[in-house]
Chains A and B, each alone.
Chain A
Amino acid sequence: MSDPLMEHGPLVTFLAVMAIGGVIASNVKISQLEEMSQIRRRLLGLFIIEMGGLAASAWTWMIHNEMITGGSQYCAAEGIVQCGSVIGDPVYSEFFGVPWGVVGIMAFAVLGWITLAIFMDMKADWAKSYVDYAWWLSLPSIPGIIWLVIVELTLVEGAPHICPYCTSVHIALIACMYILYKIRSERDAGNWDVTQKLSKAELLAKARKK
């Protein structure tokens, strides 16, 4: 029996990080981020979600490593919602011999590198085209996610099972694709790094606050 804190704590943390990233990338007003353009905010949120996904992928790799040499203290191994049967499966837990967690780490690292580079220098001549690279790179995750959900629900021993950490990684990937889609649309609409113009009254109110 694994420690509930060890079992669920990281999952809650990863999901919280992704949620924070999602809020930053959304249109919700955040006073601290007022000076940022909408796309810049989305890039920041995207990067946070990617790092959440990277951490969750690393966690699934750790569970995988433990499952090879017995049980894992990092996730339950019994019931419908569990990781043991999915990440510990001898056939489906790897992609051409590479654990899925490592595949996730590599994918999020590359996406994170592109996102951070664009965020750091949005005025660079390559920045706009790099959004497309990130978008195209994220597309293979669709068949990947579909395949892994099929595996969880039908193919692993004792199916159906739902692996919560795997699901958190899937959520991160889908969120990344959605935000990249939004960024591309806004870029195509000519809203690249356009800061919100404040009215005279708003500028005055802002100055008074200071």
Chain B
Amino acid sequence: MQTTRRNTKSLVNDENADARVNSFFTISAILTAVLIIVWTLAPPADIGVDEGQLAPDIVAQAHDNGNWYDFRLYDFINHSWEQGEPGTFIFLQFMDTDCPHCWEDAPAMESLHSEYGTIVQFVTVSVGMLKTTHSRAETVAFQEKGDYDGCYQDSRNCNGRTGGPHNWPYVDDINLRAFNDYNPPGVPFHLLLSPDGIVVWNSALHSKHGDPLLEPSDAIAYHLSESA
């Protein structure tokens, strides 16, 4: 008797499930058709930081020449650029004013800029990755080598870093918005973008000793000569 009741109940449940399952398959078929159309006519862009992917956009405030202004990475990008055409490559650096390795990287960046600054757009993204205090004033002080106590894990004055002032845009990413989009393995982290915004060199992928593109200067020289 109990078995019969249970069977009847399961039958009722199965019958009830029918319309929902049929509806599910119908909607799945419609969704599949929609996805095929979207992928055929306008597929989503392949965005990421691997070489060959379109770099994520960065929208934030940037500091350069003493002013803060609205910055958008894609404003520097010509999406229709093709190999061999004139265009400006973009060298992107992620750094933290409190990170000792970023202090060491500062003079290297300056020397790269002095060598390629006229033909490559340099952009530094100043992130608040380390659990130390960060501020825009600290970013500006690091960029301009200004007088500000709080750099280098909050233990040194920013004017103590080696090298001179950096004359290229510093993007404020203390809130880690761009950092999370790019998800770098650490800082400093470098990317070279072709004029159409495609990542052509990712420092994390060339970190092994003996890699011919280990050094940023080698990577820039290589890709500039490739596109010429």
A126 B57 Cβ-Cβ under 8 A: no
Q: A108-136: which have CB < 8 Å to B?
A: 109, 112-114, 116-118, 120-121, 124-126
B27 A112 Cβ-Cβ under 8 A: yes
Chain B residues positioned under 8 Å from A63 (CB to CB): 42
Provide 11 A-B residue pairs closer than 8 Å at the C-beta atoms, listed in order of the A residue.
Answer: A51-B30, A58-B38, A62-B41, A62-B42, A65-B45, A68-B44, A68-B57, A114-B23, A116-B27, A118-B19, A126-B20
A69 B79 Cβ-Cβ under 8 A: yes
The distance in angstroms between the C-alpha atoms of A9 and B47, with both chains bound, is 30
Residue positions of B touching A, CB distance < 8 A = 12, 15-16, 18-20, 22-24, 26-27, 30-31, 34, 37-38, 41-45, 47, 54, 57, 59, 72, 74, 79-80
A113 B27 Cβ-Cβ under 8 A: yes
User: Scoring A residues 56 to 76 as 1 if CB is less than 8 Å from chain B, else 0, what string do you get?
Assistant: 001001110110111010100
A70 B79 Cβ-Cβ under 8 A: yes
Q: How close is B38's CB to chain A, nearest CB, in angstroms?
A: 6
Is A48 on the interface with B (CB-CB < 8 A)? no
Chain A residues positioned under 8 Å from B72 (CB to CB): 90
Q: How close is B129's CB to chain A, nearest CB, in angstroms?
A: 20
B34 A105 Cβ-Cβ under 8 A: yes
* Size bin of chain A's contact surface: 20 to 34
Residue of A nearest to B12 (CB): A125
Is A137 on the interface with B (CB-CB < 8 A)? no
Chain B residues positioned under 8 Å from A70 (CB to CB): 79-80
Q: How close is B24's CB to chain A, nearest CB, in angstroms?
A: 6
Q: How close is B69's CB to chain A, nearest CB, in angstroms?
A: 14
Task: Evaluate whether A90 and B42 lie within 8 angstroms (CB atoms) in the complex, with A120-B22, A121-B16, A126-B16 already known.
Answer: no
A124 B16 Cβ-Cβ under 8 A: yes
Chain B residues positioned under 8 Å from A58 (CB to CB): 34, 37-38
The distance in angstroms between the C-alpha atoms of A151 and B42, with both chains bound, is 24
Is A25 on the interface with B (CB-CB < 8 A)? no
Residue of A nearest to B40 (CB): A62
B26 A90 Cβ-Cβ under 8 A: no
B27 A65 Cβ-Cβ under 8 A: no
B43 A65 Cβ-Cβ under 8 A: yes
The distance in angstroms between the C-alpha atoms of A68 and B18, with both chains bound, is 42
The distance in angstroms between the C-alpha atoms of A117 and B21, with both chains bound, is 8
B38 A116 Cβ-Cβ under 8 A: no
B59 A90 Cβ-Cβ under 8 A: yes
The distance in angstroms between the C-alpha atoms of A112 and B22, with both chains bound, is 12
B34 A55 Cβ-Cβ under 8 A: yes
Chain B residues positioned under 8 Å from A72 (CB to CB): 42
Q: How close is A108's CB to chain B, nearest CB, in angstroms?
A: 9
